[in-house]
Amino acid sequence: IVYMPEQKNLTNYGGTMRLGLHKIELIPDSIAFKIYNNTSLSRRHRHRYEFNQNFKEIMEENGMKFTGSSDNKKRIEILEIPNHIFYFGIQYHGEFHSRPGKPEPSFEQFIKASVKNKSKRKLNF
């Protein structure tokens, strides 16, 4: 994780975050596509960090998929590991999209995966 390139040389960070609603393009046949049932979505942001692209290739070689991007594929928004129980990372603030009785879809899928896999693991504390 690194500062966004436009943030690197700033010394005064007041009012410099990446804020607001941004459109995210999803890759078909991904977990993200299955969760959102769409090729795009818009989500709110409030940060100044992003995935360090210098590590993208090695992460992909080891099974990670980058399945959501914004700003013409310049920024990674969603990453996942398809063969994991539920390895799904988001850059945006999903909690801003949740409402009582209607959670953000990725949160809902996380809970469903947890419940489904609860009986498969015995935790020793």
Taking the C-alpha atoms of 82, 74, 3 and 45 in order, what is their torsion angle to the nearest 10 degrees?
-80
For range 3-26, the mean pLDDT:
65
Q: Is the pLDDT of residue 13 over 80?
A: no
For range 24-49, the mean pLDDT:
87
Pair of tokens at residue 97: 């999209």
Give the C-alpha separation, 81 to 88, whole Å. Answer: 7
Higher-scoring residue by pLDDT: 76, 45: 76
In the sheet that 40-47 helps form, which strands lie side by side, from edge to edge?
A: 40-47, 18-26, 65-70, 75-81, 87-90
| CATH homologous superfamily for the domain 2-118 | Class I glutamine amidotransferase (GATase) domain (3.40.50.880)
Question: What are the residue ranges spanned by the domains of the chain?
Answer: 2-118
pLDDT class of 70 with cuts at 50, 70, 90 = confident
Give the C-alpha separation, 61 to 97, whole Å. Answer: 32
For range 80-97, the mean pLDDT:
86
DSSP SS3 for 109: helix
Q: Above pLDDT 70, what percent of the chain?
A: 76
